[in-house]
């Protein structure tokens, strides 16, 4: 969803006048009329949902209590979800995890010097440093696949070891890797290059509300959640776990970045529709949940 569409829907849902919307969204009268027509169904849905949005946080906590839980799909014998999405594309090799030089920084140093870092040097990350970041955050160190269950174990904890995440990377400045959007394969420990328009970095930056670190960071890690992987076992309560799991991932991004002389900044302020569009996600079965910019310290 582009910015104009977003603003049209945003102001229209709040009852702004035609003139106000034309001014705020920077659109012409003809564009307004076209949106009014083509977005009629979306608008109706937003207007119907809008009053619920005022209490959804409170309701979410209330209705995901165990008191409301029913039998899970796992208990009902529904087919188990895959632990990793199948992907195809051009493979970009990474230094193997057992051959990465271990950074010398102590855990104490990494924790105590960690700060959100939003400004970066122009120095690139090495492929080995990137490999280390992915090892710390997303790599599957174990994979079990059977008829009744499939799961991975990683260097971050996850409720029920469901690991409901997929990791994409916007490569801006990593030695030996062409800039562009990639998917990280947690079993093969490699990147898969995704065919995207040349504007992908700017599109992702716009999706992150124009936060400059998205184009300045050496790499932007974009974590998406596949909720059913966790919901198969924990039903609606699983949505709590997604965000808890994401926090663990984020802290390992921070600490691993410190360990390689880089800094990270987490990004939670993004426009969901725009970010899901950038990755080609439907926003329901899979959606962007958390983002981190990483780059060498200035
Ligand atoms: C969930 C979450 C979302 C965040 N989103 C953003 C963001 O969108 N942009 C940003 O500049 N910083 C973001 N931050 C970084 C915080 O602003 C930062 O952690 C906080 O100011 C404390 O500073 P420190 O990390 O240096 O200790 C986010 C942090 C978290 C944990």
Residues forming beta bridges with residue 171, ordered by sequence position: 180, 219
State how far the Cα of 243 lies from the Cα of 158, in Å rounded to an integer. Answer: 10
Flag whether pLDDT at 149 surpasses 90. yes
Alpha-carbon distances of 64 from 178, 227, 239, 271, rounded to whole Å? 43, 14, 8, 25
266 lines ligand 1 (CB under 6 A): yes
Average pLDDT value for residue range 158-166: 98
**Which residue's alpha carbon is at the smallest distance from atom 9 of ligand 1?**
267
How many angstroms is it from 118 CA to the middle of ligand 1?
Answer: 10
pTM of the predicted protein model:
0.96
Query: What percent of the chain clears pLDDT 90, i.e. is strictly above it?
Result: 97
**Which residue's alpha carbon is at the smallest distance from atom 23 of ligand 1?**
116
How many angstroms is it from 206 CA to the middle of ligand 1?
Answer: 18
268 lines ligand 1 (CB under 6 A): yes
How many angstroms is it from 247 CA to the middle of ligand 1?
Answer: 12
DSSP code at position 68: G
Q: Quickly state the pLDDT bin for 102 (edges 50, 70, 90).
A: confident
State how far the Cα of 231 lies from the Cα of 71, in Å rounded to an integer. Answer: 11
Pocket mutation for ligand 1, best pick of 115, 212, 251, 266 (most atoms within 8 Å of C-beta): 266
Q: What are phi and psi of 262, to 5 degrees?
A: -115, 180
Flag whether pLDDT at 103 surpasses 90. no
265 lines ligand 1 (CB under 6 A): yes
Answer with the residue of higher pLDDT: 149 or 1.
149
Flag whether pLDDT at 25 surpasses 90. yes
214 lines ligand 1 (CB under 6 A): no
269 lines ligand 1 (CB under 6 A): yes
Answer with the residue of higher pLDDT: 2 or 250.
250
Instruction: Write the pLDDT tens digit of every residue in 118-130.
Output: 999 999 999 999 9
Q: What is the mean pLDDT of the chain?
A: 97
How many angstroms is it from 172 CA to the middle of ligand 1?
Answer: 21
Average pLDDT value for residue range 43-58: 95
115 lines ligand 1 (CB under 6 A): yes
| pLDDT value, residue 1 | 87
How many of the other CB atoms lie within 10 Å of CB of 297? 15
116 lines ligand 1 (CB under 6 A): yes
Flag whether pLDDT at 157 surpasses 90. yes
| pLDDT value, residue 241 | 98
| pLDDT value, residue 224 | 98
Average pLDDT value for residue range 27-34: 96
How many angstroms is it from 44 CA to the middle of ligand 1?
Answer: 34
**Which residue's alpha carbon is at the smallest distance from atom 29 of ligand 1?**
266
State how far the Cα of 14 lies from the Cα of 6, in Å rounded to an integer. Answer: 13
Helices (H), 64-218: 107-113, 127-137, 200-207, 213-216
How much helix, strand and coil, in percent to the nearest 5, is found in the chain? 45, 20, 35
How many angstroms is it from 115 CA to the middle of ligand 1?
Answer: 9
How many angstroms is it from 153 CA to the middle of ligand 1?
Answer: 27
Domains of the chain: 3-54 (no CATH), 72-296 (3.40.109.10)
**Which residue's alpha carbon is at the smallest distance from atom 7 of ligand 1?**
267
Phi-psi region of 141 (alpha: psi -120 to 50; beta: other; left: phi over 0): alpha
How many angstroms is it from 116 CA to the middle of ligand 1?
Answer: 6
How many angstroms is it from 35 CA to the middle of ligand 1?
Answer: 35
């Amino acid at each position: 969803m582009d910015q104009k569409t977003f603003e049209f829907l945003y102001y229209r849902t709040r009852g702004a006048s035609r003139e106000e919307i034309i001014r705020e969204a920077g659109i012409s009268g003809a564009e307004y009329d076209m949106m009014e027509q083509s977005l009629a169904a979306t608008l109706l849905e937003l207007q119907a949902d809008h009053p619920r949005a005022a209490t959804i946080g409170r309701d979410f906590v209330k209705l995901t209590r165990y008191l409301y839980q029913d039998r899970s799909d796992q208990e009902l014998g529904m087919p188990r979800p895959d632990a990793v999405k199948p992907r195809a594309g051009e493979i970009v090799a990474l230094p193997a995890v057992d051959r990465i030089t271990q950074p010398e920084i102590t855990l104490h140093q990494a924790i105590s010097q960690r700060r959100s870092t939003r400004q970066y040097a122009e120095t690139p990350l090495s492929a080995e440093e990137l490999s280390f970041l992915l090892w710390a955050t997303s790599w599957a160190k174990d994979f079990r696949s059977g008829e009744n269950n499939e799961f991975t174990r990683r260097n971050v904890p996850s409720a029920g070891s469901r690991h409901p995440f997929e990791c994409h990377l916007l490569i801006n400045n990593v030695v030996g890797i062409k800039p562009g959007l990639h998917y990280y394969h947690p079993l093969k420990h490699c990147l898969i290059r995704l065919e995207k328009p040349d504007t992908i970095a700017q599109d992702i930056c716009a999706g992150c509300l124009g936060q400059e670190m998205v184009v300045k960071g050496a790499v932007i890690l974009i974590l998406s959640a596949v909720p059913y992987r966790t919901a198969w076992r924990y039903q609606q309560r699983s949505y709590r776990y997604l965000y808890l799991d994401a926090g663990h991932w984020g802290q390992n991004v921070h600490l691993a970045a410190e360990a390689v002389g880089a800094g990270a900044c987490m990004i939670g302020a993004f426009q969901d529709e725009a970010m899901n569009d950038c990755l080609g996600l439907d926003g329901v079965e899979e959606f962007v949940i958390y983002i981190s910019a990483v780059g060498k310290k200035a």
